[in-house]
Amino acid sequence: MDIAVRPMALSETGLVIEYFHCAAPEHLEMLGVDPTRLPTRDAWRERFEQDFSLPVEQRPQFFVIWLLDDHAVGFSSCDKIVFGECANMHLHVADSERRTKGIGTACVLKSVEIYFRELRLKRLFCEPNAFNVAPNRTLQKARFKYLKTHMTVPGPLNFHQAVTRWVIER
Ligand SMILES: CC(C)(COP(=O)(O)OP(=O)(O)OC[C@H]1O[C@@H](n2cnc3c(N)ncnc32)[C@H](O)[C@@H]1OP(=O)(O)O)[C@@H](O)C(=O)NCCC(=O)NCCS
C-alpha cells in the first residue's frame, strides 16, 4: 500500500466538487454541511480557477490530494489561512470503502507536513463536528491536541453546530 500526499493540481479539483455534490444527505449532515450552501459546480470551478491563479501565500484555501497506489482516494484542505501563522484543516477519504483502514491517519500526518512547510504555519487547527467520531479519533491519532468543544458555524458551507477544536503546533 503506497500512500502519497501532494498539493492538488487545478485539474484535480473536480474530486472535491463531485465529493460534495454526490454526497448523500446523511453524509453531509455528519460533516455539518448544509447542502443548500454548496456552490453550483460551475461557480465552484470558477472559484478554484481564481484561487489557483494566485500565489500560494495569497490563496484563501490550499488543497492537497491523497493518493493510494497512485489513485486519488481523498483530499484535505486548509482555509482561514493566515500565512506564516495559522490555518484550519479539513480531511476526507472520498472513497467510502477505503475508510477505517489507516489511510486517513497516514494522509493527515503527511498533509500536516505540507501545510506547515507551504503555508509557513506555527499552528494548524481542525474543527470537526463533535458527533463525527472518525475525524475526532483520527486527529487524536495524528497527534493533534484537543482544545475544547463549542458551538459555531465553522465555515461558509456549514450550519450552526457543536465542533471539537484540535490543534497541532510547531
Ligand atoms: C475522517 C477520515 C478522513 C478518517 O480516515 P480513515 O482512513 O477512516 O481513518 P483511520 O482508518 O486512519 O482511523 C483513525 C482512527 O479513527 C477511528 N475511526 C475511523 N473511522 C471511525 C468510525 N466511523 N467510527 C469510530 N472510529 C473510527 C479508527 O478506529 C482509528 O482509531 P484507532 O486506531 O484508535 O482505532 C475518514 O473516515 C473520512 O473521510 N470520513 C468522512 C469524512 C469526514 O467525516 N471528514 C471530517 C470532516 S472535518
pLDDT per position as a tens digit, 68-86: 999 999 999 999 999 999 9
Tell me the CA–centroid distance for residue 101 and ligand 1, in Å: 8
Query: Residue 48 domain-assigned?
Result: yes
Tell me the CA–centroid distance for residue 3 and ligand 1, in Å: 16
Assess whether pLDDT exceeds 90 at residue 1: no
Instruction: Provide the β-strand partners of residue 88.
Output: 79, 125
What phi, psi does 3 have (nearest 5°)?
-105, 130
Residue 96: which CATH number? 3.40.630.30
Tell me, what's the pLDDT at 141? Answer: 98
Mean pLDDT value across residues 137-150: 98
Assess whether pLDDT exceeds 90 at residue 41: yes
User: Domain residues for 111?
Assistant: 3-124
Tell me the CA–centroid distance for residue 138 and ligand 1, in Å: 5
Ligand 1 contacts CB of residue 141 (under 6 A): yes
Mean pLDDT value across residues 107-121: 98
Specify whether the CB–CB gap between 152 and 127 falls below 8 A: yes
Query: Residue 96 domain-assigned?
Result: yes
Query: Residue 56 domain-assigned?
Result: yes
The structural domain count of the chain equals 1
Ligand 1 contacts CB of residue 123 (under 6 A): no
Specify whether the CB–CB gap between 67 and 45 falls below 8 A: no
Query: Residue 145 domain-assigned?
Result: no
Query: Residue 169 domain-assigned?
Result: no
Ligand 1 contacts CB of residue 128 (under 6 A): yes
Percent share of the chain, pLDDT over 70: 100
Tell me, what's the pLDDT at 150? Answer: 98
Mean pLDDT value across residues 12-19: 98
Measured between alpha carbons, how far is 118 from 37 in angstroms, rounded to an integer?
A: 29
Query: Residue 38 domain-assigned?
Result: yes
Query: Residue 49 domain-assigned?
Result: yes
Query: Residue 116 domain-assigned?
Result: yes
Average pLDDT, rounded, for the chain: 97
The rounded Cα 161 to chain-centroid distance in angstroms is 17
Nearest ligand 1 atom, CA 99: 8
- Mutational test site, ligand 1, from 29, 96, 100, max ligand atoms within 8 Å of CB: 100
Ligand 1 contacts CB of residue 32 (under 6 A): no
Mean pLDDT value across residues 25-38: 97
Confidence tier at 67 by pLDDT (50, 70, 90): very high
